[in-house]
Amino acid sequence: MSDAVASDAFVFFGATGDLARKMIFPSLYGMVLHGELDVPVIGVAYSQWGLEDLAARAREAVTDAVDDVDEKVLDRLVGLLHYVDGDYNDPATFETLKRELDDHRRPTHYLAIPPSLFSTVIRGLAAVGLNRDARIVVEKPFGRDLASARELDAVVKSAFPEDHVFRIDHFLGKEEIMNLLYFRFANSFLEPVWNRNHIASVQITVAEDFGVAGRGGFYESAGALRDVIENHMFQMVALLAMEAPAYQGYSAVHSGKANVFKAMRPLTSEDLVRGQFTGYRDEAGVAADSDVETFAAVRLFIDSWRWAGVPWYLRTGKNLPVTAHEVFVEFKKPPQALFDDAVALHNRHNYLRFRLKPDSEIALGARVKTPGEEFQGEQRELLVATHSPDVRQPYERLLGDAIQGDRALFTVEDSVEAAWMAVDAVLTDHDPAIEYAPGTWGPEEADRLIGADGPWRNPNIKEA
Q: Which residues participate in catalysis according to the annotation?
A: 232
* 3-class secondary-structure state, position 454: coil
How many angstroms separate the CA atoms of 408 and 225, rounded? 25
Query: How many CA atoms lie less than 13 Å away from 39 in the CB half-sphere?
Result: 24
Amino acid in position 312: W
Phi, psi (degrees; rounded to nearest 5) at 57: -65, -40
How many angstroms separate the CA atoms of 79 and 1, rounded? 29
How many angstroms separate the CA atoms of 239 and 155, rounded? 29
Cα torsion at 367, 370, 376, 380 (round to 10°)?
-20
Contact of 112 with 21, CB cutoff 8 Å: no
Q: Which H or E run includes 262? A: helix 250-263
**Distant-in-sequence contacts of 246-254, Cβ < 8 A, 24+ apart:** 250/2, 250/406, 250/407, 250/408, 250/409, 253/181, 253/408, 254/407, 254/412, 254/415
Phi, psi (degrees; rounded to nearest 5) at 265: -70, 125
Closest by CA position to 212, among listed 5, 4, 438, 435:
438
Q: Which H or E run includes 380? A: strand 377-385
Distance of CA 341 to the CA centre of its chain: 41
Closest by CA position to 27, among listed 59, 72, 70, 62:
62
Q: Give how far Cα 11 sits from Cα of 14, 20, 100, 136, Å.
A: 10, 12, 10, 10
Phi, psi (degrees; rounded to nearest 5) at 137: -110, 120
Output the 3-class SS for 319-351. CCCCCEEEEEEEECCCCCCCCHHHHCCCCCCCE
